[in-house]
Structure 1
């Protein structure tokens, strides 16, 4: 609400009386604020107290100048509004909400009105003038409050943007595996308290916001674009989640249900790049989770190892399964299936039969065929190792 600058209802002798009261009103206002807004008690001691007292006098003087029709009409209360704006920014920088400052404004309005209205009445102000005086006082306080709120919001927005940039930079240097001095410097700039470990999570960008609301507030989001050519599927972002090891891993996996997420291993926060690289590799290799559960790379280590060199695995499979080239495709498929189960169950025929849903005699028959094809090599430890590796991951 803007304060109008029409003709003043204040006679000169009333203006003089009010002007003489300004120092006393300022002193009384500050004393009352200290009592009624305890969080400001410390701020009003020493030099800071004298600075604030002068600011209160400027605000009161600016009001009186406006209310009585004096001053520059182009900037009627500019200094006072600027001061209120600066107070709001200062509150934000101190980490405080606007509650205390707005309470101080309300106290100031009440105390100022009580003292100044008393002085105005004593000086002979009319009832009509007193009503107008009250309207101007509270309209002025509204303007000061609004200016402080704007300053508080602007400071939060400014510092918030700066901190977000620092946090994004920290995530970037962690993902890149930069040297320790770069990591610690980035963490200090971001005012980020390092955890014991970080766990990388890759998930579609569309799910990131919902997941972040359930995770540790120190979770970092990498703003780096993941190479689209190397990471199939939807566009993904990387989260670095603090202290999600041990018992903390279960809640993380639960929070990622249905989010098409890939979870790396927990690593020391300075080695977060290793967790990120593991998760990224799992996506690149096309590993898939079952159902709606996230892909937990800690449960898929054997596949990650075996798929690390896809061409070498294919060459190994071709070489060690060469004896099966002498049978037809249908027979080959059944024999490969039986051989894989036989290797995994260490030759226990009943378990192989149960897994394949066939009679134990069928397993005996097929193993006889395999021995005819492979000969004594099925008893050679090296051949058994190579067959186990070759058949551990189904061919794609």
Structure 2
């Protein structure tokens, strides 16, 4: 099985492209090489786990594969994609890998009981990879959201203090914020801000920083 890993990884990637069309472009160039390497790493990690002694730490052989799955999840979030395509790719990968490796296992003379245990390990491993990618995707979205929120708050502060137009333009671009035609500033007690935001336009900016003299800010 170890000697077949590159070929199995290649066939797995080829079938993912066919069955998960949204990945056709993602497999081109460097990204394709990265995903292909992750597939081979995952298969190798699985074989290490499957052949490890009973006293071995089960997390050790698959640690690199789980780290790669986590990174794939973060990459999906950075690309603006949901987890649907990646989870679909995992399902295809599990099926293709099982088909390829079980054929080798049968040819090697594994018993029915051993083959059943092997299948159990395959699908438990895919569940772990999926969970790692979901965690990576969620963490990336949370990080991106926090960063953008800080940019938006900084933009609100610049608007209220009458910053130079070029500084406002740069801050708006950094926050990915499209300016409306007009702006209205509203001062509220901090305890009422969250409730008010529910009813306001999604582009509404907020800041909790102290503004020295809002009435004196530029228009």
With normalisation by structure 2, the TM-score equals: 0.89
Question: Given the alignment, which residue of 90, 100, 104 partners 2:89?
Answer: 104
Higher share in helix = 2
Aligned to 1:51: 34
Is residue 81–residue 144 contact of structure 1 (8 Å, CA) maintained in 2? yes
Single out whichever of 115-124 and 196-205 deviates more from structure 2. 196-205
Distance 1:167 1:46 in 2: 34
The equivalences for 1:1-396 within 5 A come to 18-69=1-52, 73=57, 75-225=60-210, 273-274=218-219
Distance 1:98 1:131 in 2: 29
Shift of residue 51, structure 1, vs aligned partner? 2.8
Instruction: Determine if contact 1:89/1:155 at 8 Å carries over to the other structure.
Output: yes
Worse-superposed segment, 196-205 or 109-118: 196-205
Gap runs ≥5 in structure 1: 1-17, 231-237, 239-263, 265-271, 275-396
Between 147-156 and 169-178, the greater mean CA deviation after superposition: 147-156
Distance in 2 of aligned mates of 1:189 and 1:226: 22
Provide, for residues 217-266 of structure 1, a one-character-per-residue CA deviation record: whole Å limited to 9, x for no partner: 11101222367xx9xxxxxxx9xxxxxxxxxxxxxxxxxxxxxxxxx9xx
Between 126-135 and 185-194, the greater mean CA deviation after superposition: 185-194
Structure 2: unaligned runs, 5 residues or longer: none
Whether contact under 8 Å (1:171, 1:223) holds in the other structure is no
- Name the count of aligned residue pairs: 215
Contact persistence 2:190–2:208 (CA under 8 A): no
Q: CA contact under 8 A between 1:21 and 1:119: conserved in structure 2?
A: no
Q: Which has the larger radius of gyration?
A: 1
Q: What is the TM-score with the length of structure 1 in the denominator?
A: 0.51
More strand by share: 1
Whole-angstrom CA distance in 1 between matches of 2:29 and 2:206: 44
Partners in 2 of 1:183 and 1:225 — Cα distance? 19
Q: 1:189 to 1:207 in 2, by over 3 A?
A: same
